Structure 1
């Protein structure tokens, strides 16, 4: 057996790094940062809020007491992880150049996180994380077309899963889980499917498809609302961008549009609902009359002299497509420019418009 190197921390916050061989590292008290090095290492955070990274090799990591982060980076081995007591997070950073194919499922009380392959090639770049105790996963796909499929995690103690797809056309599917998820598609044409409880879904740049599944879900719109293309003048003079996401199951009375007030220039919500020519001034408008396209709806708002609001959103029913749509406007009272943010494909009756309420929108 190869010799072991023992490294001991202090009662303070230590920065400890292993050797190229097999290391046993104890952080001791304090908020420690521990990296294992190249061998098959044993890392113990002990008490405190610690950060543990096994690095290369097949490592064992134990956070101990405190809110710990146990980290895996692309190129590391298959590790065994135990967060210990308090609130612990398993952090995974995938390949920056290739598409990761991740799965997460239960094996008794343990959570098994696997990269089954890269770019759809099973066995290429595969690894497994066996997680004895933890409360959260924070997974980054980085580059490539990533997939992350989550099964039933009952009995594992996992409470939350965060995913950031990064670049590429990513698939995130948590429909088989009852764990709260926060999924960020990043750039590309992503498909995000939430869990059976309350989720946060963020498509990001690109034309994305989002399904909340069960629970009370929030669909967040932030960043540049015109990032998906170039807005162009329409026949009625409204400058419009028509590159929307698809939300397949927006549930009235349960789900919400979460609007980033800083990015969209909306300081507070002033909700109004009714016929376009009868609305009073507001910056979140629901039109109960139908229109052939978003530009026609924007022009009707512009023609209403009571509306002076600048940046805001409106929901209208598109009589051509037969669905409700969410639209951003840089200037509601002056006809835009506008960007269609989302097609709400489950809302196929103009009568649904009257069922939107102020609770359908929130600022973040």
Structure 2
């Protein structure tokens, strides 16, 4: 009597690690109750294959050095070496905190606020404000207007609130919260939490092991260097792991996920998603919807955990064609191998190899 072949246990779909949801309202209320008397945005085409270019994204995130120089014509408001409450006028003001744990309020006008040593709190108020963080742990709220905020050396919390804001982390483990409208956020050094909020947002983690969450709107999210976790949130998002062993989660919408280098995990979530593992031994899970999985000879082996025959599709790029493939079965999984080189390009978990035909593939596509 032949020994029956055991049915392989399906691989469970991992659940993404929960990240803290910033309490925007509490932060704004706390800053407003203190005791004191733009970039062009391209709209990604949901059906297009987006080419991630970290260099271009980084250039979009740069701050002009002139923007970090306080205007000479602004009204000066200077702190001391003690703890100060510094209040601006309704005109353009130049606030410098000095030492101590200071509180600086810009109110109306396009204000320039420089925080120095101490754990400081700054509130830009109305107008297009510029705020530079100091040496310690600062709390900064841009509020109304299109604000430019660059944190300092400590572990800073920065909230752009309303307006088209540019938020840059610096050294330390920073929390950057975009809020409403279209924002540009970059974590820089440290292990940062970058939260886009509403609108079309551009997020980049840069160095460190960062967590980036696009949330609402069409977002472009790049992890940068380090082992990063990126979440697209709602609508159609573009996620790039870049370097390191990254986790990319598209969530809702028709998303594009590109793992970049390293051993990455990609989860499309809901919607019709495009998943590109690229370099490294990557694991791809499409989730709901009709998903496309990109494979190429220049990539390492892509493990696809939930390929659905008849709804999902494997897309060849880099000159690979269906005729070049050898399709075999191994332990209940389907293995795709380049016949001429015996290079294994993909593994489809729990898929019967007899179901895989040319109709499951698309050729002559490129990223």
Q: TM-score, normalised by structure 2?
A: 0.50
* Corresponding residue for residue 339 of structure 1: 343
Q: CA deviation at 1:143?
A: 2.3
- The structure with more strand, counted as a fraction of residues: 1
Residue of structure 2 equivalent to 1:75: 172
Conserved in 2, the CA contact under 8 Å of 1:172 and 1:191? yes
Tell me the residue number matched to 1:250. Answer: 307
**Alpha-carbon spacing, 1:256–1:172, altered in 2? closer, same or farther (3 Å):** same
Distance 1:158 1:354 in 2: 31
Map 1:1-364 onto structure 2 (within 5 A): 2-4=84-86, 18-20=114-116, 22=120, 23-25=122-124, 35-38=132-135, 39-43=138-142, 46-47=145-146, 52-55=149-152, 56=154, 58-62=156-160, 64-66=162-164, 68-72=165-169, 75-78=172-175, 80-82=177-179, 84-85=180-181, 87-88=182-183, 90-92=185-187, 95=190, 136=219, 138=221, 140=223, 142-144=225-227, 146-147=228-229, 160=237, 162-164=239-241, 166-168=243-245, 170-173=246-249, 177-221=251-295, 225-226=297-298, 228=300, 244-260=301-317, 264=318, 266=319, 284-286=321-323, 314-319=324-329, 323-327=333-337, 336-337=340-341, 339-358=343-362, 362-364=365-367
Q: CA RMSD in A?
A: 5.0
Q: Is the 8 A contact 2:322 2:358 kept in 1?
A: no
Conserved in 2, the CA contact under 8 Å of 1:323 and 1:349? yes
Do the aligned partners of residues 253 and 191 (structure 1) sit closer, same or farther apart at CA in structure 2, a change above 3 Å counting? same
Residues 204 and 131 (structure 1), Cα distance of their counterparts in 2 relative to 1, 3 Å cut: closer
- Alignment partners' CA distance in 2, 1:196 and 1:92: 27
Distance 2:308 2:211 in 1: 37
Q: Tell me how far apart the structure 1 counterparts of residues 193 and 326 of structure 2 sit (CA, whole Å).
A: 38
Query: What is the distance in 1 between the residues matched to 2:240 and 2:366?
Result: 22
**Are 1:196 and 1:213, in contact at CA under 8 Å, matched by a contact in 2?**
yes
Query: Structure 1 residues 338 and 362 mapped into 2: Cα distance closer, same or farther (>3 Å)?
Result: same
| CA distance 1:178–1:130, shift in 2 (3 Å) | closer
- How far has the Cα of 1:350 moved from its partner? 1.9
CA distance in 2, matches of 1:41, 1:103: 14
Deviation at 1:327, TM superposition (A): 4.6
State how far apart, in whole Å, the 1-side matches of 2:292 and 2:85 are: 53
Equivalent position SS for 2:356: helix
3-state SS of paired residue (1:209): strand
Count the aligned residue pairs.
Answer: 254
Q: What 5-or-longer segments of structure 1 have no aligned partner? A: 107-114, 120-126, 229-243, 267-282, 287-313, 329-334
Q: CA deviation at 1:210?
A: 1.1
Deviations 1:127-174 (A, max 9, x none): 999999765372526324x556x69x6xxx665362516224x44455
Q: CA deviation at 1:351?
A: 3.7
Instruction: Give 1:212 deviation, angstroms.
Output: 0.8
> How many angstroms apart in 1 are the aligned matches of 2:343 and 2:287?
26
